[in-house]
Amino acid sequence: MSILERAVQEIADEMRKRTDRGQVASYIPELARVDPNAFGLAVIDAEGNVAAAGDADTPFSIQSISKVFTLTLALGKAGDRLWKRVGREPSGSAFNSIVQLEHEKGIPRNPFINAGAIAVTDLILSGHQPREALGEILRFMQFVADDYSIAIDDKVAASEERTGYRNVALANYMKSFGVLDNPVNFTLGVYYHHCAISMSCRQLAMAGRFLSRAGRNPTTGHVVIPAERARRINAVMLMCGHYDGSGEFAYRVGLPGKSGVGGGILAVAPGKASIAVWSPGLDPAGNSRLGQLALEMLTKRLGWSIFA
C-alpha cells in the first residue's frame, strides 16, 4: 500500500466515524433523498496512480462542480471576451445573492456564483439549440474524464427546474441588463441539466486531471487547454470556488477547489494530483463539511498546499 493509498484509506475511515456532518441540501427536493452518511474520496497523482476509498464509485449530483468545466469550455469558445460578461473577483456574499448584480449593472462577480455560471452557460449556448449545447458540455466532460458512461440525471434537472425560482430571478435580472443573449428558459434549461450531471469521485478526479497537469490530458498527452489557461482557471477556483467560504477553504486546505451543493468537491494540487471528495452534509456556506475536513487532512499529510 503506497503512502497515498494509506492516507486516503485512513482519512475515509476516520470520516466514516464522524457525526458532525452538516445539513444535506434540501432546496432541490431530489437532492434531499441522498444518504447523508455517504463518503467517498479519490485521488489521482501525477503518475496516474489512483487511490480511492469509501463510496468513491457511487455517482452523485456534481451540481456547481460542473461550472469548472463550463468555464473551461466557454473560455475556449469566447476567450477573454468572456470577462466582459462576468468578473473574476470573490463575491463577498452567498451563492445565490442578487444584490451584487444591482450594484454592477447585471455583471456577476465571478463565474462560480449562480448568476455567473448562468452567464457562462449563455455564452456556450450562443447560436445553438439547448440540446446541442448540452451535448457539447456532456461530451467534454466524458472526454476529460475518459469515461463515456457519464450521464445527466434528468430527475434532478427536472426537480431543480420546478423549484428554481431564484435562478429564474437571477437570469431575468441579468437579461434586463442585456447580459444574456439567449431566451432565458433556453439558458436555464442547459444550466439545470449540466448541474445535474452524475459522477462518482473516481470519475470526477479523472475529469480534473488536466487542471493539475498544466492543461494536458495525461492519458493521451493531448493539450486540452493551454497551460496558462489551466493556471488561470485554478486561480479562479481558489478565489471563488467555495462561495463565501472560499477564504476559509484557502486557509484550511490551501488548494484550488470547487464545491457543489450535492456535497462534492473537486480539488487540484498543481503538478501533484487531482482529488475528488463527496459527503452530502453542508456547512452554512453551502460547502461539504466533511469534504473540506478530509481535504484539509490530506493536504497537510502529503504537503500539497500551494502556500508552502
- Give the C-alpha separation, 176 to 178, whole Å: 6
Beta carbon of residue 214, minimum distance to its own copies (angstroms, whole number): 5
Query: In the chain, at which residue ranges do the beta strands (DSSP E only) sit?
Result: 23-24, 40-45, 50-54, 60-61, 151-152, 197-199, 257-259, 264-269, 273-278, 281-282
Question: How far, in Å, CA of 163 to CA of 148, rounded?
Answer: 30
φ and ψ at residue 26, rounded to 5 degrees: -115, -5
Residues within window 197-226 making contact with its own copies, judged by CB under 8 A: 214
For the question of residue 251 being annotated catalytic, the response is: no
Q: What residues numbered 260-279 form the site for its own copies, per CB under 8 A?
A: 270-271
Contacts of 80 (CB under 8 A, 6+ apart): none
- Alpha-carbon Rg for the chain in angstroms: 18
CA pair distance 20, 8, nearest whole angstrom: 20
CB 279 within 8 A of CB 291: yes
| Residues 67-96 interacting with its own copies (rule: CB under 8 A) | 87-93
Q: In the 8-state DSSP scheme, what is residue 265?
A: E
Residue 64 known to be catalytic:
yes
Instruction: Tell me, residue by residue from 183 to 202, as one string, x for binding to its own copies by CB under 8 A and - for no binding.
Output: -x------------------
**238 scored as a contact of its own copies (CB under 8 A):** yes
Whose Cβ is closer to its own copies: residue 47's or residue 80's?
A: 80
- DSSP label of 72: H
d(CA 15, CA 9): 10
Considering only residues 145 to 174 of the shown chain, the ones binding its own copies according to CB under 8 A are: 165-166, 168-173
Size of the site for its own copies (CB under 8 A): 55
Assigned C-alpha cell, 84? 466582459
Asked if 241 interacts with its own copies (CB under 8 A), we say no
Looking at the Cβ atoms of 53 and 174, the one nearer to its own copies is 174
Beta bridge partners of 281: 24
**Catalytic residue (one of 261, 268, 274, 277):** 261
191 catalytic per annotation: yes
Q: Decide: is 41 part of the binding site for its own copies (CB under 8 A).
A: no
Q: Which residue has the cell 455567473?
A: 116
The yes or no reply on residue 284 touching its own copies (CB under 8 A) is no
Q: Does 305 bind its own copies (CB under 8 A)?
A: yes
Shortest distance, position 160 Cβ to its own copies, whole Å:
12
Binding letters toward its own copies, positions 109-148, x by CB under 8 A: xx--------------------------------------
261 is catalytic: yes
Provide the 10 A C-beta neighbour count for residue 256: 26
Q: Which residues are catalytic?
A: 64, 67, 191, 243, 261
Residues within the interface to its own copies (CB under 8 A): 87-93, 97-103, 109-110, 165-166, 168-173, 175-176, 184, 214, 227-228, 230-232, 234-236, 238-240, 244-248, 250-251, 254, 256, 270-271, 300, 305-308
